Amino acid sequence: MRVAGDQPYDVVIGRHLLGELPSLLGDGVRRVLVVHPAALASTAEVVHEDLKASGYEAYVAEVPDAEEAKTAQVAAFCWGVLGQADFTRTDAIVTVGGGATTDLGGFVAATWLRGIRVVHVPTTLLAMVDAAVGGKTGINTAEGKNLVGSFHPPAGVLCDLAALESLGRWDFVAGLAEVVKTGFIADERILELVEQHADALRAWGTAPASDETWAVVAELVERSVAVKARVVGEDLKESGLREILNYGHTLGHAVELTERYQWRHGAAVSVGMVFAAELARLAGKLSDDVVERHRQILGSLGLPLTYRGDRWERLLGAMRRDKKTRGDVLRFVVLDDVARPTRLEGPDPTLLAAAYAEISADAPTGRGPVAL
Ligand SMILES: NC(=O)c1ccc[n+]([C@@H]2O[C@H](COP(=O)([O-])OP(=O)(O)OC[C@H]3O[C@@H](n4cnc5c(N)ncnc54)[C@H](O)[C@@H]3O)[C@@H](O)[C@H]2O)c1
Ligand SMILES: O=C(O)C(=O)C[C@@H](O)[C@H](O)[C@H](O)COP(=O)(O)O
Ligand SMILES: [Zn+2]
C-alpha cells in the first residue's frame, strides 16, 4: 500500500518479509541502527545479521519495554549510540517492536542530524494498523503523553503478520481497540468483521489461530492501514482531517497519564471512545444505538468501558494539554454516525461531567487484564 506525501512510501503487509528491508531503506545507506526492546531481541538479531549479510554496517540498540522507552533519557541513549558510530544523514534506523518502539525510534530518527531515514518493522497489531504508519513520532514528559515529538514519515513499513504469532492475548486485544476506532471513524465493514469474529479475536494467543481467523486479521490490518494511509496522505501534520485518528484519545491519553502508563494504550482509548460516544449522544449528535454499539463491540473483546469516578479534575487537567486543544478550548473528535466523524468544540463543563458520569464506575473496573 502506498502512502502519499512529499516522500511517498510503501506499507508492505504479508509474511516473512524481512528480505524486503534493503529496498525500503533505499539507496545510499551505509550504517543502520536496529532499535528494539528485549522482547524482540531474537527478531532484531535476525534483522541485524541480514543487514550485515547485505553489506550494511549494522548496529543494535536495546531499549526498555513499552512506555518506559518513550523518555528523553532513552532518546539520549540512542543519540549516543548514533554519535559513537558516526551516523550521517545517509544512514538509517530500523525499529523492530510495538508502537512504543516505533514512536521512540521514529523520534530519534527525526531528531538525529535533524532527520535521517527510518523504516519501521512493527511487531504488534497496534503498531501495524496505526503507530508505524503516518509519521507521528514522540516521547512523553512528566506532564503528559507524546508531548514532545515530530512528524517524520518513515521510508517504509514492513508489517510481517507472522510476528503476531507470539503476541500476548491482551496486547493483541489492545491493538483491536485502534482497529475498532478505525471502524467507527471510517469503515463500517471493520465493525462488522469484529462483531462476527469477536470470540476468536478475543481468544488470540490462547490457542493457534484458525485459517479463518488469520484471514480476518489480515483483512482488518489491510482495511485499517488503508484508512490511515488515506488520511495521513492527505493531512500529514494534522491541520484538519487527521484529527479523526485521535477519536477516543482525548480522554484516553488522560487516563494513561493518570494511571502512570500502567494501562495499555488501547485499553485507555477504549474507555475514551465510550466517553466520546456519550459526549456526542448528550450533545444531540449520536443515536443511542451507535453508543450501545461501542459498548457491545469493545466489551465483546474484553476491553474496558468504564473508569473510576473520582478522577475527573485530574483527567480534565491532562485533557487541557491535549494537542487538539486550542488555547482554553477543549476539542473532541465525536461522531454524527458511524463513519461520520466531526468535532465538538468547547463543550459546556456540565456536558463533559455528564459524559464522565456515564462511564464512571464506583470501583476501578478498568483494571481488567487489558488494563494491566
Ligand atoms: N505514532 C502513532 O501514530 C501511534 C499510533 C497508535 C499508538 N501509538 C503509541 O503506540 C504505543 C502502544 O503500542 P503497542 O500497543 O504496540 O505497545 P508496546 O510497544 O508497548 O508493545 C506492547 C508489548 O508487546 C510486546 N511485543 C511487541 N511485539 C511483540 C511480539 N511480536 N511478540 C510478543 N511480544 C511483543 C512489547 O515488548 C510490549 O511489552 C503507545 O505508546 C501509543 O501512544 C502511536
Ligand atoms: O496518527 C494519528 O494522528 C493518531 O492520532 C493515531 C493515534 O492512535 C495515536 O495514538 C497517536 O500517537 C496520538 O497522537 P497525539 O497527537 O494525540 O499524541
Ligand atoms: Zn492511539
pLDDT digits (tens, 9 = 90+) for 177-211: 999 999 999 999 999 999 999 999 999 999 999 99
Unique residue bearing C-alpha cell 484508512? 227
Give this complex's ipTM.
Answer: 0.99
Q: CA 26, CA 6: separation in Å to the nearest integer?
A: 16
Q: Measured over all CA atoms, what is the biggest interatomic distance in the chain, rounded to whole angstroms?
A: 62
- Give the C-alpha distances (Å, rounded to integers) separating 366 from 267, 359, 363, 372: 8, 11, 9, 9
Q: CA 131, CA 271: separation in Å to the nearest integer?
A: 19
Is residue 136 scored above 50 in pLDDT?
Answer: yes
Q: CA 315, CA 312: separation in Å to the nearest integer?
A: 5
Q: In terms of C-beta density within 10 A (0-12 exposed, 13-18 middle, 19 or more buried), how is residue 74 classed?
A: buried
Hey, which of 102, 139, 237, 246 would you mutate to test ligand 2's pocket, going by the most ligand atoms within 8 Å of its Cβ?
246
- Domain range 2-166, CATH class: alpha beta
- Is the CB of 126 within 6 Å of ligand 1? yes
Query: Which residues participate in the annotated binding site for Zn(2+)?
Result: 178, 249, 265
Q: Write out the H or E segment, with its range, that includes residue 48.
A: helix 41-53
Q: CA 199, CA 270: separation in Å to the nearest integer?
A: 17
Q: CA 233, CA 229: separation in Å to the nearest integer?
A: 6
According to CATH, the topology of domain 169-371 is: Dehydroquinate synthase-like, alpha domain (1.20.1090)
- Is the CB of 355 within 6 Å of ligand 2? no
As given in the structure block, the three cell numbers for residue 348 are: 459546556
CB 70 within 8 A of CB 131: no
Task: Quote the pTM value.
Answer: 0.97
In this prediction, residue 305 carries a pLDDT of 97
CA 192 to ligand 1 centroid distance, Å: 25
Which of 299, 64, 80 has the alpha carbon at shortest distance from 176? 299
Domain ranges of the chain: 2-166, 169-371
Query: Which residues participate in the annotated binding site?
Result: 65-70, 99-103, 123-124, 136, 145, 178, 249, 265
Residue closest via CA to ligand 1's atom 19 equals: 98
Long-range CB contacts (< 8 A, 24+ apart) of 325-333? 330/250, 331/243, 331/250, 332/250, 332/276, 332/279, 333/185, 333/243, 333/244, 333/246, 333/247, 333/248, 333/249, 333/250, 333/276
- Is the CB of 136 within 6 Å of ligand 2? yes
Contacts of 151 (CB under 8 A, 6+ apart): 110, 135, 136, 137, 236, 237, 238
CA 140 to ligand 3 centroid distance, Å: 14
The confidence band for 116, taking pLDDT boundaries of 50, 70 and 90, is: very high
Is residue 242 scored above 50 in pLDDT?
Answer: yes
What average pLDDT score do residues 153-159 get? 98
The confidence band for 369, taking pLDDT boundaries of 50, 70 and 90, is: low
Beta bridge partners of 94: 34, 119
In this prediction, residue 343 carries a pLDDT of 98
As given in the structure block, the three cell numbers for residue 174 are: 489492545
Is residue 367 scored above 90 in pLDDT?
Answer: no
Is residue 23 scored above 60 in pLDDT?
Answer: yes
CA 200 to ligand 3 centroid distance, Å: 23
Percent of the chain with pLDDT over 70: 97
DSSP structure string for 64-125 = -SGGGGSSHHHHHHHHHHHHHTT--TT-EEEEEESHHHHHHHHHHHHHGGG--EEEEEE-SH
What ligand 1 atom has the least distance to the C-alpha of 122? 28
In this prediction, residue 370 carries a pLDDT of 53
Question: Who has greater pLDDT, 368 or 78?
Answer: 78
pLDDT tens digits, 317-330: 999 999 999 999 99
Ligand nearest to the CA of 130: 1
Q: CA 7, CA 70: separation in Å to the nearest integer?
A: 26
- Is the CB of 68 within 6 Å of ligand 1? no
Contacts of 104 (CB under 8 A, 6+ apart): 35, 63, 69, 70, 74, 75, 78, 95, 137, 139
